[in-house]
Amino acid sequence: MPSGKITSVTEQTNQLQTAPSTGETKLANRANDYSQTVGNIRVDSPKMSMSNVDVFYGDKQAIFDVSLDIAKNEVIAMIGPSGCGKSTFLRCLNRMNDTIDICRVSGKILLEHEDIYDAKLDVVPLRARVGIVFQKPNPFPKSIYDNVAYGPRIHGLATSKVELDEIVETSLKRAGLWNEAKDRLDQPGTGLSGGQQQRLCIARTIAVSPEVILMDEPCSALDPIATARIEELIDELRSNYTIAIVTHSMQQAARVSNRTAYFHLGYLVEVGKTNDIFTNPNHKLTEDYITGRFG
């Protein structure tokens, strides 16, 4: 797991509540000012780099001037109260918002040095490079094998049945599902438990060899045991992939991420190392959210 991780939000809260009054005054002065992000938005070797991103649904603006880098092989958690824009921002990163007719995105989003909103860019290979796992497990109404094999087939990643078998097995192993599924690969993926279905969806995502994996509250519909398995998996995957996860669970953000970004009313309020965000936030809104004063 990431070094220096925080395991108890209660401990974090206690540390914040015993902060000196001068610190409280400093934070309070920023409570109503969140148009400028606090913290270092840039990293030395970004996998993705976002600059001045605005998102509109019709006439309503949902994201305001967000700039942020995501480093290679890091896990970044995006937190904030419901409706703060974190999922909307996440879906910009592989153009999932293109599927919403009234949605408009401006600004610049680079995958390494390539503008993913370039009019000439094909979104199909983009979504293979930047995969997404949704809140509710959504296996295809196909066998376990065909769920994982679907992406490699349509992208032409396997030239033979042997190669396809190898991709399926490797993907299921990386998703921690091989031992549970290897004897029933021909059975429907929908017959798996909720936690197993989510791991199947992760296997389906990594089968096309993505560079980035987006996770939109992947554990919100799972029980604690299944959640723990997904969190272990995230820690294992970070050595090979860049991961951005949206979560309502501050404990989960503290356990799995290297950096944390806090969103509020469509603004990126603060970003920094997870340990720093949870023990020594520099914005009053971040402190208020972490200590449970709202959200």
Burial of 119 (C-beta count, 10 Å sphere; 0-12/13-18/19+): exposed
Q: Contact at 8 Å (CB) between 122 and 95?
A: no
Q: Contact at 8 Å (CB) between 209 and 152?
A: no
Q: Contact at 8 Å (CB) between 16 and 287?
A: yes
Residue 91 identity (one-letter amino acid): R
pLDDT at 11: 53
Other beta carbons within 10 Å of 291: 18
Handedness of CA 238, 240, 246, 247 (dihedral sign): negative
Cα–Cα–Cα angle for 93, 95, 98, nearest 5°? 150
- CA 56 to CA 62: how far, in whole Å? 6
- The conformational region for residue 85 under phi > 0 = left, psi -120 to 50 = alpha, else beta, is left
> What does each of the 295 residues of the chain score in pLDDT, given as a tens digit?
554 444 454 454 454 444 444 555 455 455 567 789 999 999 999 999 999 999 999 999 999 999 999 999 999 999 999 999 999 999 999 999 999 999 999 999 999 999 999 999 999 999 999 999 999 999 999 999 999 999 999 999 999 999 999 999 999 999 999 999 999 999 999 999 999 999 999 999 999 999 999 999 999 989 999 999 999 999 999 999 999 999 999 999 999 999 999 999 999 999 999 999 999 999 999 999 999 887 6
Q: Contact at 8 Å (CB) between 200 and 146?
A: no
- CA 203 to CA 57: how far, in whole Å? 32
pLDDT at 34: 79
Q: Contact at 8 Å (CB) between 206 and 175?
A: yes
pLDDT at 221: 86
Residue 160 identity (one-letter amino acid): S
Q: Contact at 8 Å (CB) between 246 and 215?
A: yes
pLDDT at 28: 46
pLDDT at 164: 97
Other beta carbons within 10 Å of 170: 16
Tell me the pTM: 0.87
Nearest C-alpha neighbor of 76 from the set 257, 203, 233, 218: 257
Residue 99 is given by DSSP the state G
Q: Provide the CA 255 distance to its chain's centre, in angstroms.
A: 14
pLDDT at 32: 67
Residues in the chain: 295
Dihedral angle over CA of 236, 239, 242, 248, nearest 10: 30
pLDDT at 21: 47
